[in-house]
Structure 1
Amino acid sequence: MKKIFKVYILLAALALSSCSKEYLDTKPTDATATSTVFSTTKNAALAVNGLAKMMTQQYLDSQGFNGEGTIKMYYGNYPGNHFFVNLPGWAPIINNTYNESTASIYNYYPWYYYYKIIANANAIVARVDAAQGPQAEKEFIKAQALTFRAYSYMMLAQLYGNRWSDSNNGASQGLVLRLDESTGDMPTSTLGETYSRIYEDLNQAISLYTSSGLKRNNNFSPDISVAYATYARAALNRQDYAAAESNAVKARAGYPLMSNAEYTSGFSLPTKEWIWSSYGASDESLYFFSFFSYIGYNSSASAVRTFPKIISKDLYTKIPSTDIRKSLFLNPEGYTYTISSGLADGALAAKARKDYPALQSDAAVYAYMQFKIKAQDLPGVGHLNHFRSAEMYLIEAEAKYFQNKPAAEIQAVLEGLNKSSGRDPQYTCTKTGTALLDEIKTYRAIELWGEGFDWFDMKRWGDPIVRKSTTNGGNFIAALAITTRPEENNRWTWKIPLKETDFNSEIK
């Protein structure tokens, strides 16, 4: 790793500000001395903001690698069960066949991206205590850096670690746990040790957030709610259900579920439900390289105009007609379209353009295409959500189920998410046993569609990915209509890339 991931202490140059222009233009990244970055808590706070900026940058000279948005799209959406895009040439990515190709850039990207964040977070953790400034500010800044580090290790563990049920209670290979500014050779820890470190970072962060008494002033900087949310998701992955439940409840406190008007507004500006997001604005655009240029239905990018993103027919048919979320996908019932591809013209295309006038005039229209996610500005500007309170409801429900808590408690959580919120005023849940678990899984898929959870959920559950072809009643083209079982493809675990193992002799 020493030849790959170096800490350049560039974060102040990526800083945010509370003024109208959120991201400041400052000195070149390699011109900011370490002593300057950490001389004061004000500068150290800018370094934390630089971590936030890293989540929306372009990487590895590729238009497709745009920070966290790429993780959501290429690693969460594309290889999942319920997300279709008519790209047969992308079958290796969509069918998740690169996870054992250790020389592939797709294998390398998440490792590179998250360890870059970790390395810079480590610098903040190591140096902020010596900065000049109030103790409360030091504590809050360190808590934020620890939250970034824990989040990054959690995401890496989902990709490069086994699902917990396959880990021999955490004895399987985990990650290289770099916790300081050293760059020498280092072995991997176990998966259990990896999650223990995630927990330790979050426990310390929560303590520091509390003792500091400070609050954040924007949605794209982490705070104690983000630490709780990260804890809840990590604990769910680790099958530590009591911790998942308790932290999910804490995370969503103060973040009520959004209204239907907010839900249908495009998922590109923070609402009262958003716990944490990445900043996006026209003057900080990645243009055709951003997440919203790959998914926003109104984007002018060819990646959307030619290849709109589509919900699986199987999942769409499970959404009740009384549910507001059904209206976010193009219903082809009663219309004609090309069954083999989903491509629509004539009356169905006209309906789409009438109902969604922001759709580009030359955009292709497909049956079941999505209208959930919309760019705020073209070609693909928007705030990128990472945690919503809706996810915390779903974590709570799942964690209660696996703790064998009364079905009525779980049903109440699901009704709180789906009925009390107004998403589906007719929703009711009386299911028990495995049918109740299936209900939780279905509503995770419905609620979080397109937000980067699909493949990660299927891996965690150990459920097969089963995509039905157009000839078998589904809407996937033949090249993507696959069945992938959890024991295949290295148990869906990405192997450590050669760019790490070639330079780190401690990894066996």
Structure 2
Amino acid sequence: MLDKIKILLVVVLFSIFISCNEDFLETTPTDAVTPTIALSSAEDMQKVLNGIHRTLYAQLQTVIPGGSSNRSGNHYWIPLGDNLAGHLIHSADADNLGWRTEMQWNSHTVPTSLTNELLWYHRYNTILHANLIIGKINEGTLPVTSDLKAIEGQAYAYRAYALLSLVQHYAKGYLIGNPTTDAGVPIILTPQATGPRATVEEVYKQIGDDLDAAISAFSNATPRLTGDPKYKSQLNINVAHGLKARWALSKGEWKTAADEAVLARQGFPLMNEADWKLGFNTNDLPEVIWGSNVVDTETTFFRSYFYLASNTFNGAQIRSNPKIADKRLIDAIPDTDYRKDVFIIDAPNTNSSAANQQGGLDDQGQPKDPNYANDLAGYDARKAELYNEYGLTTRFNLHPYMHFKLKNKNPGSTDPDDIIYMRTSEMYLIEAEAKAMMDDVIGAQNALRPLGEERDSAYDVTIYNTKETLMEHIKFQRKLELWGEGFGYTDKIRWDEGIDHGANGGSGASAVLYQGAYQVEKPSVNNDWIFKIPQKEIDANPNITPNDQN
């Protein structure tokens, strides 16, 4: 899979040990860091796993030969899902790291784009190292212990995670296409470098097999440690069940999705209001099942998730372009739902370059923002209040419907924060959606009730008493609860929903800024939802030709 993947057998294992085990490098020459040495014991395998954990958020030039510091793994890929779906709305023109280009759908639709290339090789890098561990364990030369079973479970779960990510981005959605004939992605099960595109069905079968193997291994494994948020960077049986719930939901295996979601959330209670409003910046939150613990020594600064998505991060992408939510979604939130509090509907529009042309002051020194027409005193007072409440300086622009859901632990800084991948709330929503799709209205209501009643003091799920009304409500709850956490892209593919920023009063996005992405046809009739295969892969892989391009 390109020479860079072949090189990873030595180069990336060496890179992993630089960050994971300095003592190892002090006693072992560089040219001796080979898969044989690195995988000679369960302890060494755990070090390789720790390296995989690190690559999920490292700047990718440290992971992939020829990689770029402009992409830092899931710091970029997670918010990209909501950026592409039009959920994480840009209020002004700012293209740092190509974030506006992504939003305008001018990146993933181009075979030579950095995003297409690095997402592909990042996920196959994960698969490569999972394969090394799985292959060594399958040799049967190591003592089978509960610790080794935990490593085996993580390796299978990682391979499934990476394959699911690949097939959901580089192939047509399972539910909207013909999975038995649609081209998927290469299935690489050994540390080889190339492979042809399997069908979507074949890829999904392999993912299912890997998740079953992961769950089986975890069932006989040493449990994941608790008591420190760093331990949640390790995958465990809950993560494997959660990945299986996602996998089943995306392919319409509704009962499996519901059952696995229930298993995934065991031991991870829903957050209360105080926790929900903390900023989603730490694995320490009680309902976080899995997330990257981002350590200070590996900080990505202006390459991080919150640089792209949090309105408290001290970076140009945010200061000049505060991110806003779809006002149609926010206006629909009941006042009794505390989630509405983190979306500031009446934030003054302070940016003279705001895309809606309502920012800053006019020639008479009065606010252009219609919410503060001829009310400069109110405009200034509200600005000061928000700056003080959220720890911002006057360098930060404000905008109506801006969010403070994602917040730095240290607001106004560039400090690193954790990346959350899986939460209990998602599992309640998966169970509810799956049961609704099985026409089990009562079951879906019961699945949704704990989440809804926790978030909304006046919540009454019984008013959604048909499959149709319940599904619309589940979609609303999912868009609200998981806003900014990256699920928008895959949700729209599963639901076969397009993008229309102008419908029903408008989202608040600018047609001039969003260009062709202001309105996008639904995935079943628009192949632009499918990421292009990297041109470099087509050029180098004899099993993939230009005719295989999406």
Same fold (TM over 0.5): yes
Aligned 8 A contact 1:176 1:189 in 2: yes
* Matched ranges for 1:30-179 at <5 A: 32-60=33-61, 62-74=68-80, 76-88=81-93, 91-128=100-137, 132=142, 135-179=145-189
Specify which of 475, 479, 486 is matched with residue 445 of structure 1.
Answer: 479
| Alpha-carbon contact 2:75-2:305 (below 8 Å) kept | yes
Q: 1:418 to 1:187 in 2, by over 3 A?
A: same
Q: What is the letter of the counterpart of residue 236 of structure 2?
A: D
From the superposition, tell whether residues 167 and 120 of structure 1 become closer, same or farther in structure 2 (CA, over 3 Å): same
1:390 aligns with 2:425: yes
In the TM superposition, 1:282-431 aligns within 5 A as 282-332=296-346, 340-341=356-357, 343=359, 346-356=380-390, 358-377=391-410, 378-405=413-440, 407-419=441-453, 421=454, 423-429=455-461, 430-431=463-464
Please tell me whether the aligned partners of residues 109 and 528 of structure 2 are also in contact (alpha carbons under 8 angstroms).
no
What residue is the counterpart of 2:363 in the other structure?
none
1:355–1:505: structure 2 CA closer, same or farther, 3 Å change rule? same
Match of 1:484 in 2: 520
Distance 1:354 1:149, change over 3 A: same
Q: Which amino acid aligns with 2:510?
A: I
Distance (Å, rounded) in 1 between the aligned partners of 2:187 and 2:418 = 30
1:297-355, Cα deviation, whole Å (9 max, x unpaired): 3222222222222111111111111111111111218x677792564652332232233
Paired letter, 1:411: Q
- The match for 1:506 is 543
Q: What is aligned with 2:371?
A: none
Describe the shift of the 1:495–1:124 C-alpha distance in structure 2 as closer, same or farther (beyond 3 A).
same
> 1:280 pairs with 294, 298, 318, which one?
294
The structure whose residues are more often helix, as a share, is 2
1:44 and 1:145 mapped to 2: Cα distance? Answer: 10
Tell me which moved more, 368-377 or 254-263.
Answer: 368-377
Gaps spanning 5+ residues in structure 1: where? Answer: 17-21
Q: 1:211 to 1:468 in 2, by over 3 A?
A: same
Residues 35 and 132 in structure 2, CA contact (< 8 A), matched pair in contact too: no
Q: For residue 16 of structure 2, what is the aligned residue in structure 1?
A: 14
Displacement after TM superposition at 1:170 (Å)? 3.4
User: Aligned with 1:265: secondary structure?
Assistant: coil
Measured on the aligned residues, the alpha-carbon RMSD in Å equals: 2.5
Q: Counterparts of 2:237 and 2:157 in 1: how far apart (Å)?
A: 9
Residues 57 and 117 of structure 1: is their aligned pair in 2 closer, same or farther, counting only changes over 3 Å?
same
Is the contact made by 1:12 and 1:37 (CA closer than 8 Å) also made in structure 2? no
The answer to whether the 8 A contact 2:149-2:222 is kept is: no
Partner Cα distance (1:133, 1:66) in 2: 36
Q: Which is worse superposed, 138-147 or 483-492?
A: 483-492
CA contact (8 A) 1:147 1:227 kept: yes
SS in 1 for 2:233: coil
The verdict on how the C-alpha distance between 1:110 and 1:36 changes in structure 2, with shifts beyond 3 A counting, is same
Query: 1: distance between equivalents of 2:180 and 2:192?
Result: 26
Moved more, 56-65 or 391-400: 56-65
Matches of 2:479 and 2:429, distance apart in 1: 10
Structure 1 residues 91 and 214: CA distance shift in structure 2, 3 A: closer
When structure 1 is superposed on structure 2, of 24-33 and 318-327 the one drifting more is 24-33
Answer yes or no: is the 8 Å Cα contact 1:41–1:131 preserved in 2: no
The amino acid of 2:532's aligned partner reads: K
Output the CA distance in 2 between the equivalents of 1:359 and 1:105: 32
* Structure 2 residues without counterparts, runs of 5 or longer: 62-66, 361-378, 546-550
Give the structure 1 partner of residue 64 of structure 2. Answer: none
Identity of aligned residues (%): 28
What residue number does 1:212 align with?
221
**Which of 475, 491, 494 pairs up with 1:460?**
494
Letter in 2 for 1:77: D
Question: Are 2:531 and 1:497 equivalent residues in the alignment?
Answer: no
Give the whole-Å Cα distance in 1 for the aligned partners of 2:46 and 2:488.
Answer: 34
After TM superposition, give the deviation of residue 222 of structure 1 in Å. 0.2
Does the Cα contact within 8 Å between 2:53 and 2:233 map onto a contact in 1? Answer: yes
Cα distance in 1 between the residues matched to 2:340 and 2:426: 18
- Contact 1:293–1:380 (CA under 8 A) maintained in structure 2: no
The structural deviation recorded for 1:107 is 2.0
Q: 1:30 to 1:477 in 2, by over 3 A?
A: farther
The residue type equivalent to 2:5 in the other structure is F
Q: Shift in Å at residue 104 of structure 1?
A: 1.8
For 1:329, give the aligned amino acid. Answer: F
SS of residue paired to 2:289: strand
TM-aligned CA deviation for residue 206 of structure 1:
0.5
- 2:261 corresponds to which letter in structure 1? A
SS in 2 for 1:322: coil
* Residues 249 and 257, structure 2, Cα contact 8 Å, conserved in 1: yes
Please report how far the alpha carbon of residue 283 of structure 1 lies from its aligned counterpart in structure 2 after TM superposition.
Answer: 3.1
TM-score, normalised with respect to structure 1:
0.91
Question: Against the structure 1 CA distance between its residues 364 and 208, is the aligned structure 2 distance closer, same or farther, given a 3 Å change threshold?
Answer: same
Q: Secondary structure at the match of 1:154?
A: helix
8 A Cα contact 1:288 1:380, kept in partner = no
Q: Based on CA coordinates, which of the two structures has the bigger radius of gyration? A: 2
Q: 1:254 to 1:341 in 2, by over 3 A?
A: farther
Deviations 1:127-151 (A, max 9, x none): 1455655522222111101111100
| Post-superposition offset of 1:189 | 0.7
1:249 partnered with 2:262: yes
Aligned residue identity for 1:269: T
Picking from 252, 264, 274, the partner of 1:239 is 252
**Counterpart of 1:19?**
none
The separation in 1 between residues aligned to 2:310 and 2:210, in whole angstroms, is 35
**Deviations, residues 45-72 of structure 1 (Å, cap 9, x unaligned):** 1111111001011125544311112111
Kindly tell me: are residues 150 and 473 of structure 1, through their superposed partners in 2, closer, same or farther at Cα, counting changes over 3 Å? closer
* TM-score between both structures, scaled by the size of structure 2: 0.84
Whole-Å Cα distance in 2 between the matches of residues 342 and 153 of structure 1? 44
Alpha-carbon contact 2:75-2:419 (below 8 Å) kept:
yes
In terms of mean alpha carbon deviation, does 441-450 or 289-298 score higher? Answer: 289-298
**Residues 23 and 5 from structure 1, CA distance in 2 versus in 1: closer, same or farther, beyond 3 angstroms?**
closer
